[in-house]
Amino acid sequence: MLLENTHKTRVVGVTGPPGAGKSTLVNALLSHWLAQNKKIAVLAVDPSSPFNYGAILGDRIRMSNYYTHPGIFIRSLATRGALGGLNANIIEVTDLVKNAPFDIVVIETVGVGQSEVEIAGLADCTIVTLVPESGDEIQTLKAGIMEIADIFVVNKADRDAAETLYMNLKIMAHENAHNTPETPVIKTIATENSGIEELAQSIDTCLHGEKNNTHKHIQLLAEKCWQLVQAEKMKNINSEQLFADLKEAIQDPLFNIYLFAKKYTGK
């Protein structure tokens, strides 16, 4: 089946370190968009067990108020070992959901930290959510998720040090702007719906404007395309058989993982 409507629905990515309140923020945005009669799909990527690949499904609990709402579709996806805070089939799943169609598709990443940049290659607008406790981590985060933000959100802004984090982000956004508009920095208290209207307006502006990071956007898409090609090349490799072969191979005192892997590469 040809998917024809995948370019009409806009994708909003919500990322940030664990504990930043991403699910609560999405929950507040859902309430705001529902008041505007929008239809929203939420793809919430949960962490998964490295042994059985099952998802924790915590987002379903935090968004339980809307789980059966006719205007909202919520689906939890396990990372299933994928790096970058997303699911290995996130592009296919997103395109399928966009074809429904919905007005907005929200993708909430798992929150794995600095390597969580794939969302920028998929989303039309990427929100990086931080909390006051993230203040000391900005320098280390800057090399990763801090560079992909279309909007910065300081959530839990009623906490100590929130104003300091807000000002530091404003300074960083100004320094990185160069000849492009500064990245918006918005304070929210998601549990009280404070700042949500301003955030929604900023998202709308972002979705209807031109992305400033076109080169990075294409670069990240190229990386994701590489992963799709890699998955296609590996589709005939059975993970259960690989496990069984490896279990037997490691009994050899001279076992070498690189030589073992060559059996599957054909080289």
Structural domains of the chain sorted by starting position, each given as residue range(s) with its CATH number in brackets: 10-221 (3.40.50.300), 238-267 (no CATH)
Cα 20-130-211 angle, rounded to 5 deg: 120
* Residue 83 predicted with pLDDT over 60: no
Confidence band for 198, pLDDT divided at 50, 70 and 90: very high
Name the DSSP class of 155: -
More confident residue, 156 or 67: 156
The single-letter DSSP state of residue 44 is E
Q: Note the pLDDT of residue 226.
A: 79
Of the two residues 19 and 213, the one the predictor is more confident about is 19
pLDDT surpasses 60 at 77: yes
| 155/137 Cα distance (integer angstroms) | 15
Q: What is the pLDDT of residues 231-257, one digit of tens each?
A: 788 878 887 888 999 999 999 999 999
pLDDT, tens digit, 9 for 90 and up, residues 2-12: 566 656 789 99
pLDDT at site 86: 53
Least confident of 96-100, 119-123, 191-195, 254-258: 119-123
More reliable by pLDDT, 235 or 145? 235
What's the average model confidence in pLDDT over 177-181? 79
Is the Cβ–Cβ distance between 34 and 72 less than 8 Å?
Answer: yes
What pLDDT was estimated at residue 51?
Answer: 41
Task: Write the CB contacts of 119 (distance below 8 Å, at least 6 apart in sequence).
Answer: 13, 15, 84, 85, 86, 107, 109, 126, 148
Starting from the edge strand earliest in sequence, which strands make up the sheet with 72-78, in order? Answer: 72-78, 40-46, 104-108, 10-15, 125-130, 151-154, 185-187
What is the structure's pLDDT at 38? 94
- pLDDT at residue 37, as a whole number: 94
* 154 φ, ψ (degrees, to nearest 5): -95, 95
Weakest mean pLDDT among 10-24, 26-40, 63-77: 63-77
Tell me, what's the pLDDT at 248? Answer: 93
Give the per-residue pLDDT at 217: 66
pLDDT in tens, 103-115: 999 998 876 544 4
Residue among 53, 186, 50 at smallest CA distance from 125: 186
Q: How confident is the model at residue 116 (pLDDT cuts 50, 70, 90)?
A: low
Choose between 163 and 68: higher pLDDT.
163
Checking if the pLDDT of 28 tops 90, the result is yes
pLDDT at residue 213 greater than cutoff 50? yes
Q: Is 117 helix (H, G, I), strand (E, B) or coil?
A: coil
17: preceding bond cis by omega (within 30 degrees): no
Report strand pairing: 104-108 vs 185-187: unpaired
Q: Average model confidence (pLDDT) for the chain?
A: 79
Distances from the Cα of 54 to the Cα of 49, 50, 79, 93, angstroms: 6, 8, 9, 18
Q: Shortest CA distance to 124 belongs to which of 12, 4, 260, 242?
A: 12
Q: What is the reported pLDDT for 136?
A: 57
User: What count of other Cβ atoms lies within 10 Å of the Cβ of residue 52?
Assistant: 7
199 Cβ contact partners less than 8 Å away, ≥ 6 residues apart: 25, 29, 127, 151, 153, 186, 188
Q: Are 41 and 106 in contact (CB under 8 A)?
A: yes
Helices (H) and strands (E) in the chain, counts: 9, 7
